[in-house]
Amino acid sequence: MKDPISKEQFLIRQPAYPQTTLTDPYYYRVANTLAAIIRDERLLDGWDVQFCNRVALGLTGYLQDILTDAGIWRSFIEQCHTLYGRRLPYFECGDEYVPHELNEADVRFLIWYTLAMNADDERRLLDPHDPQVAAAADRLHAELDRIYEDPDAPVPSDYHISKGLELNNPAEADDVFHFGNWLFMHCYLMTPAYAMSIAELTAQIDLKAKDAHEQLRRKLEESMMEDPTGPLALYLREWLFLIIEGKMPPRPKMKGEAEGEKRPEHPYYTRFMAYTGGDPIRYFHTYAELNRFFIDALGWEDAENLPQLKPYGDFVLMVNREKGMLAARDVAKCIKLPGNPCYDAAYARTHAIGLLTMRGLCPGDLLRYVLAHNGLPDAAFPGHPDSPLSVDDADFTARCHLQKYYRGD
């Protein structure tokens, strides 16, 4: 029977690509063995073969990573520990969990992550605790463990390419760029979360144009420098620092920022805070209420301001000292914070998850503020309204699903 995964599909995910290494044939067989198990044992019944093959390729990359301690998976779980106090979102890691080695919980997370992030329908909201995912993880972990414990299994030749690299050494700039390019575009841990971003970039291009390929190349290069990626929505600079130096990079200074300098206060912020008595956020059921606030609090013209908002409701306004004011629609009913008359618990139990997963629905500044104040206590994956996400898991869900729409400034 024909191999489920082609050599090109495997090789493009290898750090040495387009070069090949002596261990590539072995791990190509591993990927196809996993794909065949998924297919023949119907582990992911209902998912198209392309999803199943991506799971097999992702798990093969994870195996190669931990066998060489390449630092990719290590950087993820250690940063999770820094952010959340545990090494994996959603799953409790008991005493049997050994960091930086093969773990069933890792396999379970990667299956969920690969399936959910590559889906473009309601399955994008796949529950991490889905029974089918758990059963597949149990079987595939057993196969990976057999390989992991095999003394004859070769150590991957190319997964250690980041070892010894120095980020600030000009002589290694080309090697760092090559590693960063592979990490962003082809690494098993980054590409699932970037799948929707690529779809958004492609939608901006006329694919019938003669220079469509060049347009896409330029956009991808810009994205690599400007956009976050991976399950934690970290920027490439952050991933490189974590993998190569084991720490996050220093925060870059904002444009015009100087030592001790205080940026000017935005006039909307001044008026808003004076009117509300120091509260940076306000909620409105209707456009009429919102517009009245614009007139009374901000001194706008006594007319229909921002008329494009008239068909909508459940508004939130929030101000920031430097940035000014943002407005969001159709989200107030999901937010449980003091002073919000729009909050509707029954509505929030089925719709709050959308604020964490639907790009563009809730501005990133507002969502970060809401989560920092535990304002989405009802957010839960579909079908599980009685199992709401913790604040940490809500933050991770937003990072993973929203990417730049959550972490972007």
Q: Distance between CA 361 and CA 355 in Å, rounded?
A: 6
Cα–Cα–Cα angle for 59, 60, 66, nearest 5°?
85
In this structure, the dihedral spanned by the alpha carbons of residues 29, 117, 382 and 48, taken in order and rounded to 10 degrees, is: -50
Query: What is the per-residue pLDDT for 62?
Result: 98
Query: What is the per-residue pLDDT for 211?
Result: 87
Which residues lie across from 325 on neighbouring strands? Answer: 319
Spell 110-137 as b/e; 16+ CB within 10 A means b: bbbbbbbbbbeeeebbbbbebebbeebb
What are the pLDDT tens digits along the chain (409 aa)? Answer: 678 999 999 999 999 999 999 999 999 999 999 999 999 999 999 999 999 999 999 999 999 999 999 999 999 999 999 999 999 999 988 889 999 999 999 999 999 999 999 998 789 999 999 999 999 999 999 999 999 999 999 999 888 778 888 888 899 888 899 999 999 999 999 999 999 888 888 888 887 888 888 888 888 889 999 999 999 999 999 999 999 999 999 877 665 555 556 788 999 999 999 999 999 999 999 999 999 999 999 999 999 999 999 999 999 999 999 999 999 999 999 999 999 999 999 999 999 999 999 999 999 999 999 999 999 999 999 988 889 999 999 999 999 999 999 998 6
Query: What is the per-residue pLDDT for 254?
Result: 61
Query: What is the per-residue pLDDT for 81?
Result: 96
Q: Which residues, including other chains, have CB under 8 Å from residue 129's CB and lie 6 or more apart? A: 90, 384
Query: What is the per-residue pLDDT for 257?
Result: 55
Pairing of β 324-328 and β 281-284: unpaired
Burial of 153 (0-12, 13-18, 19+ CB in 10 A): middle
Pairing of β 281-284 and β 228-229: unpaired
394 near 371, Cβ under 8 Å?
A: yes
State phi, psi for 327 to the nearest 5 degrees: -125, 140
Query: What is the per-residue pLDDT for 202?
Result: 85
Q: Distance between CA 254 and CA 177 in Å, rounded?
A: 24
316 near 332, Cβ under 8 Å?
A: yes
Q: Distance between CA 216 and CA 137 in Å, rounded?
A: 36
pTM over 0.85: yes
Q: Distance between CA 120 and CA 122 in Å, rounded?
A: 7
3-class secondary structure for the chain? Answer: CCCCCCHHHHHCCCCCCCCCCCCHHHHHHHHHHHHHHHHHCCCCCCCCHHHHHHHHHHHHHHHHHHHHCCCHHHHHHHHHHHHHCCCCCCCCCCCCCCCCCCCHHHHHHHHHHHHHHHCCCHHHHCCCCCHHHHHHHHHHHHHHHHHHCCCCCCCCCCCCCCCCCCCCCHHHHHHHHHHHHHHHHHCCCCHHHHHHHHHHHHHCCCCCCCCHHHHHHHHHHHHHHHCEECCCCEEHHHHHHHHHHCCCCCCCCCCCCCCCCCCCCCHHHHHHHHHHCCCCEEEECCHHHHHHHHHHHHCCCCCCCCHHHCCCCCEEEEEECCCEEEEECCCHHHCCCCCCCCCCHHHHHHHCHHHHHCCCCCCHHHHHHHHHCCCCCCCCCCCCCCCCCCHHHHHHHHHHHHCHHHHCC
Pairing of β 234-235 and β 315-320: unpaired
Query: What is the per-residue pLDDT for 29?
Result: 97
